[in-house]
Amino acid sequence: MEIQPSISVFGIRLDEPITTITDLFVTIVCVYAFFRLSKVSLKGKMHSYLKIYFLSMGIATAVGGLIGHGFFYVFNYNYMWKLPGWFTSMVSIAMLERASIEYVRRIIKPSVGNFFAWLNIIELLTFMTITFSTLDFFFVEVHSAYGLLIVVAGFNIFAYIKTRSTGSKLYIWAVGLSAISALIFMNEWGICKWFNHFDISHIIMACSAWFFYKGSLKAIEGL
């Protein structure tokens, strides 16, 4: 991977400028979704979890863009400083999982819903501990893959089969976009140094967040 050149803005050095900007683009979509959902009258736990999901993901991508890319040199390239963004993103995915669990509680056995609700907490704490111990982003990726592909996609495919919910259909599309984003990131498929795999991945992540937002509006309408 060719390193994205730094630029200077008003005398301030900014590393990986396009990567920083595309990270903040995801932040904008998530913060917009949070404020839009906040204007909807509260409709139960799922609604609350979704607001936390968008707010925390917005914070995570902002921290990731500014600390993890743009100004990482200020923190002496110490990966400990990446942990706040990583942990916030893990909490975000966990909230999206819980929202999906709440959404299907009405059509599954209470014991199944309770099991996955507890598993959600155990899974989050386990991956946080491993990530803290190793300072390896790989475990953040594994946590996201499990949360999105197994829990969020799994429950929403089930909900769509049972109810033909538009919200679930949009969630499935969103997970699909997230999977494409991850595939591009892992394989480092970029166009050039000014639009590398990080940048492409972030743009697709923003599209995925938009589908999650639209799906969330449809889902809470039916609560």
55-108 tens-digit pLDDT: 999 999 999 999 999 999 999 889 899 999 999 999 999 999 999 999 999 899
Sign for the CA dihedral angle at 220, 84, 59, 1 comes to negative
In degrees to the nearest 10, what's the CA dihedral of 116, 118, 119, 120?
90
Tell whether 142 is covered by a domain.
Answer: yes
118, pLDDT greater than 90: yes
Q: How far apart are CA 100 and CA 95, in angstroms?
A: 9
Tell whether 209 is covered by a domain.
Answer: yes
Tell whether 1 is covered by a domain.
Answer: no
203, pLDDT greater than 70: yes
The token duo for 54 is 């968008």
- Return the SS3 of 165: coil
Rounded to a whole number of angstroms, the distance between the first and last alpha carbons of the chain is: 47
CB atoms near residue 77 (< 10 Å)? 9
Res 217: pLDDT: 94
The radius of gyration of the chain's CA atoms, rounded to the nearest angstrom, is 18
What integer is the mean pLDDT of 12-36? Answer: 96
Tell whether 148 is covered by a domain.
Answer: yes
Res 148: pLDDT: 96
What CATH number does residue 150 fall under?
A: 1.20.1070
Tell whether 2 is covered by a domain.
Answer: no
Q: What is the mean pLDDT of the chain?
A: 94
Tell whether 121 is covered by a domain.
Answer: yes
113, pLDDT greater than 70: yes
The C-alpha angle 157, 158, 164, rounded to 5 degrees, equals: 75
Res 9: pLDDT: 84
214, pLDDT greater than 80: yes
151-165 tens-digit pLDDT: 999 999 999 999 999
Res 221: pLDDT: 82
The token duo for 58 is 């917005």
Tell whether 147 is covered by a domain.
Answer: yes
Domain that holds residue 214: 7-221
Tell whether 68 is covered by a domain.
Answer: yes
Q: How many domains does the chain have?
A: 1
Res 34: pLDDT: 97
Q: Residue 157 in contact with residue 149, Cβ under 8 Å?
A: no
